[in-house]
Amino acid sequence: MTSPIIVPSYVSPRVRRFMDQQRDGVKIQPPPPFVETRFGRLDTIPWHLGDAGFADPKNFSTPPHIVGAIVDYLVQGTGRNKLDRDNVKNEVLRMLDGFRDGSLTASELFMALAEFQARRNTGERYSGAYYDVSVTDRFKELIAQERRRDGSVCIDPKQDIILMDSGSQAFDYLIKILGCKVLMPKPNFFTYHVVSNFYSALEGNLDLLRRKAVLYDCDEDGMPKLDEIRRKVREDSEIKAILVINPNNPTGANYSRELLQEIVQIAEENGLLIIADQVYNQLTLNMDRAVLLHELTTDVPIVEIMSFSKEYLMAGFRLGALAFYNVNAALAEVREIARKLDQQRMASNIVSCVGGVAALEGSREHIGQMKEIFRRRREVFKGIDEIPGLKFIPPEAAFYGRIICSGRTGTEFATELLDGAAIATIPGDAFAFSDDPMPYPFTRVTLLTDERRIQEGIERISRLYSKK
């Protein structure tokens, strides 16, 4: 009998070491629906959710004009008269409802649509082809128009915009191209430093001082510490780029024009590329919109990570872009490599791009409605301040607030909230490295839970700590 072949591992040793380190860090797991506490069995209050449409579909579902445009595109030519087309639309909308409520997966939805189209044998149907340049070219032009709104920005839609299947994919493309260290805020959206260090692992650089991601501290209000940025750039010649997340996830901070101008000046003085995550720029709660970095300079090279998930409530459609500004020779090389990498995936998600066109051409009334809801919920969360030892940091933008907990790490506090009051949050430790931790403890909450559940959560926390 032949002995079985023993395969020790298919995984690169560098990747395995990286993943082993991740296991030692903060794990973000879906919370249980119910928790047994000293007060009895309580249903979990989801203060942790960042997906607006999932957390509160009544208030934050994809706007009808975006869904309608996608349905129109999918059913084009399927009927010879308006009544027939309306019947088709109604059937497709029922399928989309099934996708939203979880009874259909994305792949099942599109299989159902394909079967539905195949059953109909009238007119020209949606072909499902890789390309529809009438859609993608229009989408790029609208993005360029959006970014040229103050008249000072020069951006070529055909050269300077590369469509992506999410902001996360856009960052993934960018970080795998860059051969330098990138300064990132601490805290930051955890995907950024985890993805960066995954590519560091592939290069064999896992030690703190050799990683691609170098973190700079932000203060308790979420504002970058400029002196630390200057010091780190001065001390490490391998730093050639700086990531600016404004408005910020996870802090909800909205940087002033003056602070952003200081960052631009540091970048200009040190020859840095600015990577700009501005995906919440219209979701400011104390002003009309955030200041965009490319409005402040025509000299410093900038690449923007764009996403349609948050402002346009299109998270499940996976739609984003890279946009390049003030392109010098070094950034032109990055842009060209990004374009060649993009060609390997054949095409953009055309159906989602149809929704993107509708988002930029259509009404944005929903954004104002979202902001008003967030302002109301922010006021309710301020009741946290009445509980001794806790402090609520209200967001100025996006929908993320923080609770600062005296005498506990973010993980300890988040664990106490879940085990003792059945409240799910995300500890601040998740937004930094385990070996380069947060300078202050916090846990992140979102404004996606309704006012009643926010108030109920505050009452649970008050009861939890009053009993200690």
| Tens digit of each residue's pLDDT (9 = 90 or more) over 220-278 | 999 999 999 999 999 999 999 999 999 999 999 999 999 999 999 999 999 999 999 99
Cα 455–chain centre separation = 27
Cα 105–chain centre separation = 21
Q: Are 284 and 254 in contact (CB under 8 A)?
A: yes
CA distances to 58, 61, 137, 358, 457 from 67, rounded to whole Å, are: 15, 10, 20, 9, 34
One-letter amino acid of 134: S
Residue 386: pLDDT band by 50, 70, 90 thresholds?
very high
Compute the mean pLDDT over every residue in the chain, rounded to the nearest whole number. Answer: 85
Residue 113: pLDDT band by 50, 70, 90 thresholds?
low
The single residue listed with the structure tokens 């103050």 is 150
Residue 313 has φ and ψ, to the nearest 5°, of: 55, 45
CA distances to 122, 147, 181, 297, 347 from 268, rounded to whole Å, are: 60, 21, 17, 9, 35
Which pLDDT value is given to residue 268? 97
Q: Are 307 and 318 in contact (CB under 8 A)?
A: no
Q: What is the mean pLDDT of residues 438-467?
A: 92
Of 61-70, 381-390, 428-437, 446-455, the one with minimum mean pLDDT is 428-437
Percent of all residues in the chain with a pLDDT value above 70, rounded to a whole number: 79
Which pLDDT value is given to residue 25? 44
What confidence tens digit (pLDDT) does each residue in 395-440 have? 999 999 999 988 888 989 999 999 999 999 999 888 887 666 776 7
Q: Are 142 and 134 in contact (CB under 8 A)?
A: no
Residue 92: pLDDT band by 50, 70, 90 thresholds?
low
Select from 3.40.640.10, 3.30.1490.100, 3.30.450.40, 3.40.50.1000 the CATH code of 133-361.
Answer: 3.40.640.10
Type and span of the H or E element at 391:
strand 390-393
Which pLDDT value is given to residue 64? 87
Q: Is the pTM of this model over 0.85?
A: yes
Any idea where the domains of the chain sit in the sequence?
27-53+367-466, 76-119, 133-361
3-class SS of residue 207 = coil
Query: In the CATH hierarchy, which fold is given to the domain comprising 27-53+367-466?
Result: Aspartate Aminotransferase, domain 1 (3.90.1150)
Which pLDDT value is given to residue 458? 98
Type and span of the H or E element at 353:
helix 350-361
Sign of torsion, CA 216 219 225 231? negative
Other CB atoms within 10 Å distance of the CB of residue 109: 17
Q: Which residue has the higher pLDDT, 72 or 89?
A: 72
Supply the angle between the helices 329-343 and 167-177 in degrees, to the nearest 10. Answer: 120
Which pLDDT value is given to residue 234? 96
